Every structure is written in C-alpha cells, then in structure tokens.
Structure 1
Amino acid sequence: MLELGVKHLYIEDRYSYDIEINDAIKDSTRRTGKKIVTNTFDRIKNGFIDLNTKDLKNVVEDITDELVLNEDVLLNLVSLKSTSDYTYEHSVNVSVVCIALGKMLGYSKSELYKLGMGGMLHDIGKTLIPEEILNKPAKLTDHEFEIIKNHPELGFNYLQQIESISPLSRIVVYSHHERVDGSGYPRGLKGDEIHEFARVAAIADVFDALTSDRVYRDRWPTYKAAEYIMNHTEQLFDYQLVKKFLPQVSFYPNGSEVILSSGHRAVVRTQNVGFPTRPVLRLIEDDEGNELDKELDLLKHMNIVITKVIV
C-alpha cells in the first residue's frame, strides 16, 4: 500500500465495528470524478487542446445533485488518499467542498454547478508546470515557486478556449489563490475585489491540501486544518464564508481515536451536526487503563473536551 502512496487505512476492531465512515458523495461518484479528471489532465499534458466537457459536466452535475439532496452534509475528506494521485483527488475534493459551502450560502443549482466545475478544474494550469517542480520533495527555490504561481493564469488562459466552460468557473481557476488581505496571487486582489466563488474555492483548496499527504509532509488532522482556517480569517479567508464553512466540517472524523480532558480514551462514533467539536464518542478506556464500552455525547457533557487525537 505504501508503494501506492497510501499511508492511512481504516481498520475495524471491536470498538469500531458499527462506526460508519461517511462521505459527502457516493464512492462511485468520487471514483468517476477522479477518473475523468485524470484523463482530462493527462490529455492536456500530452498536448491535446480539447476537453471532454461532457464527462466533466456529467460528474459535476452528479456531485451537485447528491449534495443538494443530502440535507446534513458533513465534510469528512480524510478518506483513503494517495500521494501519487493527489492532484486528481484534490480536484474532486475541492469541487465537493465548494458545492457544499455554496449550498450553505443559498446558491442556485446552476450556480452550484458553475462553482463545482471551477473547483474541479482549479488546478488545471498545473498540467502545464514541469512535474519535477510539482512533485519536488524538498523546499522549492524562489524561482521554482514563481513558476508554480503561474498555474492560475495558465489554467485560465487555457480555459478561455473552451466556450462550454462558464466564465464563473474560469474565475475560480484564475483567482483561487487570491487572499482577502491582498497577499495572494496572481493579481493581489483584496476583499470584495475577489469574486465570492474564488473566495469559497480558496477555503476549499487550503482545507483539502492541509488534510492530504504530500510528497514533502504528512497530512494535518482535520481539527488542526480547521484551526488554521479560523486563525487566518480576515487575513487570508473571508470571515462570513468561514462562519458558514466550519459547522460543516467533521473536526474529529468518525473512527478517530481521542483522549479526553477526563483522561478517558475514546473513539468518535458519530457527529452532532452543527457542533463540530462535540461528537458522540465510544469510551474504550478510563483514566486508569480499565477497558470500557460506553457511549458519551460531548454535546451533553460540556465540561469534557477532546485534548488529543491519537489516530
């Protein structure tokens, strides 16, 4: 599995036998999305100038439909991720997060589709960047980073040729690295100068990147990535969008093993929607090491908090 770039597996034991690792979309939809993005990006790398927009359209519509019908969308993106397939899996994840957040913002289905397409294609410009730079395990030189920073404009210019891709989708590709304080690229836009779709995509892009294994670092736990987003609100990310985003995130995904302020060890069993830091737990060990098998709902025990994530 390590040779395939997979560093994390879910292992079922007597404490987690009935715990569901839920995804916001169907596995089949995710696999189809990854396959289509892979084929699309590979064609561009090989010099083809056309896109199979029909397949892209179909899978983004499927993702949109599934998320619209899912009343209680909780984003648990810490599934089996491969470092070797990062770009393709990341593209699908960013599309999912964009659509989920857009739904919370009250976007129409047409707007969700255009936002989701932008998320799916946001890194398309990286197909035109040398792979030895993209996959470099060491720190990039200043020159290499400047090359990487060209990818939004490269992707935008490429998509200008594709009439079936909405201008709103293209603006996501062009502006997903802009930051509300003006520190982003390629144009250094500030605040409302950045289209809201791109401000949504900025959150989705960074969140999924942080919770993914990369060639140069291991993934961050979900709660740590969420803290990063919170701590950089109004500097990098739009405050109002972050307020909508965070309640949708499983800070402690189902199956995570945690330590509590009471000293107990527990496994996250399920989520309390809208309260990402207060999941329902299965206690498996007390503070003296004695085995337990007891449920604890943190929403009903506000004096107890999670202090450490083991897995």
Structure 2
Amino acid sequence: MSLGPEALAQSRKILVAVIDANAEHRQQVARALTSFYQVADFPLFDHAMEQLAHSHPCAILLDEMAASRSGGDPVRTIRRLMPGVPVIRTLNRSIPHGGDAAQGADACLEKPFRRSSLIRVISGLVNKAVEARWDTLAPQYRDSLKRTVDSFNSISDLIDRGEPLVYRDVNAACAPLVDAVSNHDFKVILDNVKGHDNYSYVHSLRVATLLSLFGHTIGLKGEDMSLLASGGLVHDIGKMKIPHEVLNKPGRLDDDELKVMRSHVPKSVDYLKLCETLPKGVITIAEQHHEKLDGTGYPNGLKGTQLNELARMAAIVDIFSALTDRRVYKEPMAPEDALALMSDRMASDIDQKLLTLFKGMLLDAVSGQAG
C-alpha cells in the first residue's frame, strides 16, 4: 500500500520511503512491497525530507538521480537528519566492480531488481539497525535478544542443509530469557524486539516469553521453564518453508493458501522429530497449539481430554500473541480487547480456567513493571 505524505504521521506500521522521479518505478516498488511494508513514495528529495522529518522510515530507497536543491549530497543529508536509517541506492546502470557504487549508502540495487532481492536487502538492513541497538541494553536483555535471534537464524540454516535441530543449543540460547522471566524482568526484551523485521522471530520470541511466564505463574521451575521457552521459540519453525506471499498476504487466504499455511504444523513436527534428544513437550507445543477444545482446530481435530495442559497453555499464548502482534496489514489489537475476544467468541475453543490464570498473570506482570 502506498501512503501519501499526509498519512505518514498516522502510520504506526513499518515504513519504507521511496525517492525516485520515475512515477512508474515508484509504483512498481510499492506493489512489490505491499505484503511486507507500508510505502511512502516521493518524486522530489527535498519534499521527502520535509515530510519524513517527524516520521522516520525504517529504510529509504534513493534513486541515484535524486538531488537536493541545495546541491548537497543526499545520503549525507539523510544521515544528518535521520541518523541510523538505512539507505539503499537504486541504480539505473550495471553495478561496477570496485569503487563506491553505493555512493556512501548502506547498499545498492541495479534496476530492474527482483522483488525477493529488494525485500532481502531491506529486511537485512532493518534488522541490522535494530540488533545494533541491542548492544546498548543491559547484559541480561542484550543476551536474551541476541542469543535467541542467533539460535532462530541458525535453525533456518540447519533446515536448509537438512540437518536436525540441536536442542541443547536452543535451550542454552533461551537461558537468559528464562532468567528474566523468573525475575519478572522481561518487559525490556519485548519492547526491544518490536522493530525487528523478521515477523516469525518476533512472534516466536513473544510466545516463548509469555509461555515461560505462564509456566512460572503456575509454579514450574528449572528444566520445565526451559522446555516452555524452547518450545515457544521453535513452535512455528515450519513457517520457514511457507512461501512469503502466503505467509505475509494481506487479507483473507483462499482455500488453497489456507491449506498451505496450515501445513506449517506438520512441517514443524516432521523437522523437530529429527532431533532425537528433543523433549516430547516441545513437539506437543508445535503439534497442538492450533488445536481447539471443541475439535475444530488443526491438524488433527483433537478435542477435550485429548489436549493436555501444555497444549492448552500453548494455544492461549499463541492466540493472544497473534492478536496483539503488529503486522504490515493490521494494527495490533489492544491486550484487553484480545482477552475479551478470547473469553467471548473463543469460549469453546480454549480452556477458560487457564485463560483466567493467563489474564491474572498479565495483570500482575503489568502492575509489577509499573512498580
């Protein structure tokens, strides 16, 4: 979706700015990014700087012909006005070997470029900027974020190579997170993951945090807490095999797309079972977090007593996290609205006694942070 300048101040979604005099190219970029980002496009550099002054984008695509009326270097102007915002130069020519093809920018792309290349470059630069800010956090928060994102990314590499997950590595990566949760000191972690551009990682970290907090609330300790955090982090790894256009599609999925999306559960389970040392509970979280008490869930239509307490907890946390996550095509639902929806329209889907405990847990966490 392409945003006009007047809408920038109201936009709270991840924003990419495109500065290019070629209207057709701006429209092509906006269409290419619509499933991933909000886009604001500008034909003139100086006008873009004026409009973006109070609503800094997460990245800027800057055509090499874009120029400032003052004659100054556009990249340096962006660095001065918007420090930390990644700049991607788009070139109307082949990228030469040697020299500064990017002209001081963070990256460059030769037109016409592939949609996948564009998204990969933007996402990589956005995440690099977000993760660099983690270095300024206290060690316990920095370690929680850096170790879990490194673990999550390494799992992607293992999947690509057909190698099994190493549970001790995931467990160790989640250790700082478990310590933070046990000490009711986790809000900074959740706050600082919000700007990260890997939605699957953000959602999985939120599930890992809230699921381990749920376990702590009902009295679990030690390895049980580690199991919950690890299970939360890997519960959706099958989504790494789902096409981006399905995973990030704005609006309702059609029947075929829904079938593809739901296949992430068996894909997750099949991969997790390659790890011979993986606790059964981790597989249960991945396999049953979309099941419902009334039997209308997937993939196996389990119901009632067929769902153990771990599966019931995981379903509550996953639903709450999905409702309150920010996506490019939707604003996050307020926590109180999400809980009301889960109590009302989802009353037959999820364990209401556990939901009551979950509500109390969130209330205690908020009041504890406020204090």
In the superposition, the TM-score normalised over structure 2's length comes to: 0.58
Measured in 2, the distance between the counterparts of 1:26 and 1:171 equals: 28
Measured in 1, the distance between the counterparts of 2:343 and 2:149 equals: 29
Asked whether the 8 Å contact 1:180–1:191 carries over to 2, the reply is yes
The 1:151/1:106 distance shift into structure 2, 3 A limit, reads same
Could you tell me which amino acid in structure 2 is paired with residue 272 of structure 1?
S
Identify the structure with bigger relative contact order (alpha carbons < 8 Å, sequence gap 6+).
Answer: 1
1:209 alignment partner in structure 2:
322
2:98 alignment partner in structure 1:
none
Asked whether the 8 Å contact 2:231–2:286 carries over to 1, the reply is yes
SS in structure 2 of the partner of residue 26 of structure 1 = helix
Structure 1 stretch 108-117 or stretch 204-213: which is displaced more?
A: 108-117
Measured in 2, the distance between the counterparts of 1:131 and 1:109 equals: 37
Aligned alpha-carbon RMSD (Å): 3.3
| Residue 65 (structure 1) aligned with residue 78 (structure 2) | no
2:262 alignment partner in structure 1:
149
The 1:169/1:226 distance shift into structure 2, 3 A limit, reads same
Give runs of ≥4 in structure 1 deviating > 4 Å: 4-9, 72-80
2:101 alignment partner in structure 1:
none
Greater C-alpha radius of gyration: 2
The 1:64/1:232 distance shift into structure 2, 3 A limit, reads farther
Measured in 2, the distance between the counterparts of 1:89 and 1:32 equals: 13
Measured in 2, the distance between the counterparts of 1:123 and 1:243 equals: 25
Residue by residue over 1:177-197, the C-alpha shift from the partner in whole angstroms, topping out at 9 and shown as x without a partner, is 001111110111112211211
1:272 alignment partner in structure 2:
367
Measured in 2, the distance between the counterparts of 1:122 and 1:156 equals: 9
Measured in 1, the distance between the counterparts of 2:342 and 2:189 equals: 16
* 1:246 Cα offset (Å): 0.5
Measured in 2, the distance between the counterparts of 1:29 and 1:112 equals: 15
2:165 alignment partner in structure 1:
51
Asked whether the 8 Å contact 1:123–1:155 carries over to 2, the reply is yes
Residue by residue over 1:158-203, the C-alpha shift from the partner in whole angstroms, topping out at 9 and shown as x without a partner, is 1111012111111110111001111110111112211211111111
SS in structure 1 of the partner of residue 211 of structure 2 = helix
Residue by residue over 1:79-126, the C-alpha shift from the partner in whole angstroms, topping out at 9 and shown as x without a partner, is 552473110011111011111111112224222222222111110111
| 1:68-107 equivalences in 2 (<5 Å) | 68-70=182-184, 77=190, 81-82=194-195, 84-107=197-220
Asked whether the 8 Å contact 1:74–1:249 carries over to 2, the reply is no
Residue by residue over 1:256-275, the C-alpha shift from the partner in whole angstroms, topping out at 9 and shown as x without a partner, is xxxxxxxxxxxxxxx535xx
In the superposition, the TM-score normalised over structure 1's length comes to: 0.68
Unaligned runs of 5+ residues in structure 1 are 10-24, 254-270, 281-311
The 1:65/1:49 distance shift into structure 2, 3 A limit, reads same
2:15 alignment partner in structure 1:
2
1:163 alignment partner in structure 2:
276
Measured in 2, the distance between the counterparts of 1:8 and 1:140 equals: 32
Asked whether the 8 Å contact 2:164–2:272 carries over to 1, the reply is no
Measured in 1, the distance between the counterparts of 2:299 and 2:287 equals: 8
Asked whether the 8 Å contact 2:207–2:318 carries over to 1, the reply is yes
Asked whether the 8 Å contact 1:122–1:172 carries over to 2, the reply is yes
1:37 alignment partner in structure 2:
152
The 1:114/1:8 distance shift into structure 2, 3 A limit, reads farther
1:15 alignment partner in structure 2:
none
1:139 alignment partner in structure 2:
252
* 1:67 Cα offset (Å): 1.8
Could you tell me which amino acid in structure 1 is paired with residue 275 of structure 2?
I
Query: Per residue, is there more helix in 1 or in 2?
Result: 2
SS in structure 2 of the partner of residue 272 of structure 1 = helix
Asked whether the 8 Å contact 1:178–1:186 carries over to 2, the reply is yes
Residue by residue over 1:8-34, the C-alpha shift from the partner in whole angstroms, topping out at 9 and shown as x without a partner, is 99xxxxxxxxxxxxxxx7243123212
1:19 alignment partner in structure 2:
none
The 1:77/1:66 distance shift into structure 2, 3 A limit, reads closer
Residue by residue over 1:244-286, the C-alpha shift from the partner in whole angstroms, topping out at 9 and shown as x without a partner, is 11122259x9xxxxxxxxxxxxxxxxx535xx9xx89xxxxxx
2:109 alignment partner in structure 1:
none
Measured in 2, the distance between the counterparts of 1:170 and 1:192 equals: 18
The 1:51/1:66 distance shift into structure 2, 3 A limit, reads same
Could you tell me which amino acid in structure 2 is paired with residue 55 of structure 1?
D
The sequence identity of aligned pairs, in percent, is 29
Asked whether the 8 Å contact 1:191–1:238 carries over to 2, the reply is no
* 1:35 Cα offset (Å): 2.9
